[in-house]
Amino acid sequence: MKMINGGVCAAQGFKAAGMHCGVRKNKTKKDLALIFSEVPASAAGVYTTNLVKGAPIAVTKSHIADGVAQAIIVNSGNANTCNANGVEVAESMSQLTADALGIPSNNVLVASTGVIGQPLNLEPIAAGIPELAKTLSVEGGHDAAEAIMTTDTVAKEVAVEFEIGGKKCTLGGIAKGSGMIHPNMATMLVFLTTDVCISSDMLKKALKSDVANTFNMLSIDGDTSTNDSCMIMANGLAGNEEIAYEGKDFIEFMRALNTVTVALCRMIAGDGEGATKLLECVVSGASDIQTAKAVAKSVICSSLLKAAMFGADANWGRVLCAIGYSGVKVDVDKVDVFFKSNKGIINVCKDGAGLDFSEEIAKEILLEDEIEILINLNSGSVTSTAWGCDLTYDYVKINGDYRT
């Protein structure tokens, strides 16, 4: 398996495009994206658990119910959430896209991201979709990645190449997400494409299983958004024998999917609103997966720990505190804690008690822009990882006037 360029257009038969149509006032920022498969594809999606959901999610769930899709239309700048005519607008976006592409409207998935509770004007989108469809290309993945950004500072895209049944296969994706991210599947949107031939049932099983250990282990600020969506299309053009059951081919597909989603998780966490550091919390030695996940997520979500990491302060007590309120049973007298970066690794807590360590060395380690928080519960053999970022002054600045 190797990393390649191309994002959502790396796989055979996929094209994409991105443009500024006028949803956003800033004309220098793209705000409309389209991803298209040359043939109908198996499709699956996972969505936010927030009871308040964006209208596009209802439309997408309806359209994807048969396990088939061929296009995804996405706007940024407005979430189309809590609007009386939201579903009507989302359905219109789907129909306009279908008309421009010459495909059935129920094969079009829809997503929106941006401000919640503001009416979404369909006019600029309606005017932009025909032009967007005309500009679809295999080089358009980056434009699409830019068009879905809101407070993101960088476009997020990745792809991998691998083999299944002797056939060269590709899986790629783009994502957006910087704030309001605490998924149980945030303003986080993820779009994945692959040329692997896989049934819609197995694709759904793969995505749901992977998201539980990747995007659901990611937190920027503890807020679960109304529009979280992760969608995948698999068009089968790689020519492998259809993956219709679990086995070695399904395992290899899962490995490729996980490689892409973990990479996107790290990109999203590292680009958190106002963030200066990517945090990765690895919990080992847990008695079961529920304990490992709960501890990792609790630590990565701790505002006090995130603030300490911003200040390069090796305040390991905040790690223990977060473990203590994680809601799972942990023998705190067995817990070891390490901080690690490119500058080295330092053991700051042994058997639940502090060690005599060098504050100077610890600070040097924590001044790096990627920090690992390593926790050994010494109570079993299960491991889990969560991703997040530090908490800075700029997070408040960004969100203090996000709407206005």
DSSP character string of 5-30: S-GGGSSTTEEEEEE--SSSS-TTS-
Mean pLDDT of 154-171: 97
Give me the percent of the chain exceeding a pLDDT of 90: 80
Residue 97 falls in the annotated catalytic set: no
Tell me the whole-structure pTM to 2 decimals.
0.86
Residue pair 100/133 in contact (Cβ under 8 Å)? The answer is yes
- Give the three-state DSSP class for 215: helix
Mean pLDDT of 6-14: 98
Give the residue from 156, 222, 123, 112 showing the smallest Cα distance to 8: 156
Angle at 294 between CA 292 and CA 298, to 5 degrees: 120
pLDDT, tens digit, 9 for 90 and up, residues 231-251: 999 999 999 999 999 999 999
**How confident is residue 177, by pLDDT bands cut at 50, 70 and 90?**
confident
pLDDT, tens digit, 9 for 90 and up, residues 102-115: 999 999 999 999 88
Give the residue from 355, 357, 356 showing the smallest Cα distance to 344: 357
- Please state, in angstroms and rounded to a whole number, the distance separating the CA atoms of residues 156 and 176: 7
CA dihedral 238→262→18→205, nearest 10 degrees, is: 50
Give the residue from 255, 267, 278 showing the smallest Cα distance to 157: 267
Query: What pLDDT shows up at residue 48?
Result: 82
At how many degrees (to 10) do helices 248-270 and 200-213 cross? Answer: 40
Query: What pLDDT shows up at residue 226?
Result: 63
**Predicted confidence (pLDDT) at residue 301 exceeds the cutoff of 60:** yes
- Please state, in angstroms and rounded to a whole number, the distance separating the CA atoms of residues 189 and 201: 22
**Predicted confidence (pLDDT) at residue 202 exceeds the cutoff of 80:** yes
Residue 26 tokens read as 């800033």
Mean pLDDT of 68-96: 95
DSSP code, position 75: E
Alpha helices (H) in 185-247, listed in sequence order:
200-213
Domain boundaries, the chain: 2-270, 278-400
Query: What pLDDT shows up at residue 403?
Result: 59
**Predicted confidence (pLDDT) at residue 225 exceeds the cutoff of 90:** no
Query: What pLDDT shows up at residue 52?
Result: 79
As beta bridge partners, residue 19 has: 32
- Give the three-state DSSP class for 320: helix
**How confident is residue 187, by pLDDT bands cut at 50, 70 and 90?**
low
Tell me whether strands 32-47 and 68-78 are parallel, antiparallel or unpaired.
antiparallel
DSSP code, position 316: T
pLDDT, tens digit, 9 for 90 and up, residues 31-70: 999 999 999 999 999 988 777 788 999 999 999 999 999 9
Q: Which region among 6-10, 186-190, 332-336 has the lowest average model confidence (pLDDT)?
A: 186-190
Q: What does residue 21 show for φ and ψ, rounded to 5 degrees?
A: -110, -20
The residue to which tokens 């994706």 are assigned: 173
Alpha helices (H) in 247-348, listed in sequence order:
248-270, 289-301, 303-310, 317-324
Q: 2-270 is classed in which CATH architecture?
A: 4-Layer Sandwich (3.60)
Residue pair 24/31 in contact (Cβ under 8 Å)? The answer is yes
Enumerate residues 6+ apart whose C-beta is below 8 A from 266. 278, 280, 387
**How confident is residue 152, by pLDDT bands cut at 50, 70 and 90?**
confident
CATH of 278-400 given 3.40.50.150, 3.40.1190.20, 3.30.565.10, 3.10.20.340: 3.10.20.340
| Burial track 329-341 (b if 16+ CB lie within 10 A, e otherwise) | ebeeeebbbbbbb
As beta bridge partners, residue 341 has: 344
CA atoms within 13 A on the CB side of 77: 23
Mean pLDDT of 172-196: 75
Give the residue from 205, 384, 357 showing the smallest Cα distance to 284: 384
Residue pair 64/119 in contact (Cβ under 8 Å)? The answer is no
- Please state, in angstroms and rounded to a whole number, the distance separating the CA atoms of residues 133 and 128: 9
Query: What pLDDT shows up at residue 302?
Result: 93
Residue 80 tokens read as 């189309």
- Please state, in angstroms and rounded to a whole number, the distance separating the CA atoms of residues 315 and 313: 5
Q: How many angstroms separate the most distant Cα atoms in the chain?
A: 69
pLDDT, tens digit, 9 for 90 and up, residues 104-144: 999 999 999 988 888 999 999 999 999 999 999 999 999 99
**Predicted confidence (pLDDT) at residue 186 exceeds the cutoff of 90:** no
Q: What is the DSSP string of 339-355?
A: EEETTEEEEEEETTEE-
Q: Which position among 187, 193, 226, 385 bears the catalytic label?
A: 187
Mean pLDDT score of the chain, rounded to an integer? Answer: 92
Query: What pLDDT shows up at residue 8?
Result: 98
Enumerate residues 6+ apart whose C-beta is below 8 A from 311. none
Mean pLDDT of 311-315: 96
Give me the percent of the chain exceeding a pLDDT of 70: 94
Give the residue from 252, 250, 257, 253 showing the smallest Cα distance to 230: 257
